[in-house]
């Protein structure tokens, strides 16, 4: 399950809203909930089937569900947080709201540790299968010529480490995945 928080920048500015994305089967089916003001909106709980065609370009995706069939142009800015989408001739800009702080470097109850900002991974301190405790150092990262330590935001078991030492990462890129909990 992934919780994402966004705000719309253009054409209208909006308060932030959350998308909860849960994978339903092995491949392309997701359930998506859109939450504004903590209340679930009309798309709550519905299932959507994403077909993201990335085969020849990185800019067009096709989304299909029983309700609609849309071709959406998109682009993600180099900061990894600004999302441009174009749907039926209208361009939208969204910015992802990152809800964790730099020191902890991860979200409580999240299934992954994301890079808080663009930079380079200097050190990987854990490996897959390893038990980690809250506040345990996971990575050392360099960004804007400053070193910072990314620590575990919770206890858990590392399912996979997604980066190697020396890698350049984008803001929000997944660095590490926790094993899904039973209730996850």
Q: Which of 16, 143, 149, 173 binds other proteins (CB under 8 A)?
A: 173
Q: Which stretch binds other proteins (CB under 8 A): 89-97, 102-110, 132-140, 141-149?
A: 89-97
150 binds other proteins (CB under 8 A): no
83 binds other proteins (CB under 8 A): yes
Q: Which stretch binds other proteins (CB under 8 A): 70-78, 97-105, 122-130, 145-153?
A: 70-78
126 binds other proteins (CB under 8 A): no
Q: How far is the CB of 157 from other proteins (least distance, A)?
A: 14
168 binds other proteins (CB under 8 A): yes
Q: Which of 3, 16, 19, 142 binds other proteins (CB under 8 A)?
A: 19
- DSSP, residue by residue, the chain: -EEEEEEEEESS----EEEEEEE-SSSSEEEEEEEETTEE-TTTT-EEEEE---SS-SSEEEEE-SS-EEEEEEEE-TTSSEEEEEETTEEEEEEEPP-S-TTT-S-TT-SEEE-SSSEEEEEE---TT-EE-TT-EEEEEEETTEEEEEE-SS-EEEEEE---TT-EE-TT-EEEEEPPPTT-
Contacts of 56 (CB under 8 A, 6+ apart): none
The residues of the shown chain that bind other proteins, judged by CB under 8 A, are 2, 4, 6, 10-12, 19, 21, 23, 27-28, 30, 32, 34, 41-43, 46, 48, 50-52, 54-55, 58-59, 61, 63, 65, 67-68, 70, 72-77, 80, 83-92, 94, 96, 111-112, 159-160, 162-163, 167-170, 173-174, 177, 180
């Amino acid at each position: 399950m992934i919780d994402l928080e966004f705000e719309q920048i253009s054409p209208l500015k909006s308060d932030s809203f959350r998308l909860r994305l849960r994978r339903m089967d092995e491949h392309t089916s997701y359930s998506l909930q859109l939450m504004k003001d903590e209340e679930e909106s009309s798309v709550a709980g519905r299932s959507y089937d994403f077909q993201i065609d990335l085969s020849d370009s990185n800019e067009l995706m096709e989304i299909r569900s029983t309700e609609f069939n849309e071709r959406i142009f998109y682009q993600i800015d180099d900061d990894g947080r600004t999302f441009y989408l174009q749907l039926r001739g209208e361009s939208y800009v969204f910015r992802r709201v990152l809800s964790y702080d730099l020191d902890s470097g991860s979200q409580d109850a999240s299934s992954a540790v994301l890079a808080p900002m663009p930079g380079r991974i200097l050190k990987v301190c854990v490996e897959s299968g390893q038990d980690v405790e809250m506040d345990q150092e996971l990575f050392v990262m360099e960004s804007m010529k400053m070193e910072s330590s990314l620590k575990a935001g919770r206890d858990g078991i590392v399912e996979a480490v997604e980066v190697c030492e020396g890698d350049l990462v984008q803001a929000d890129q997944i660095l590490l995945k926790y094993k899904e909990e039973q209730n996850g």
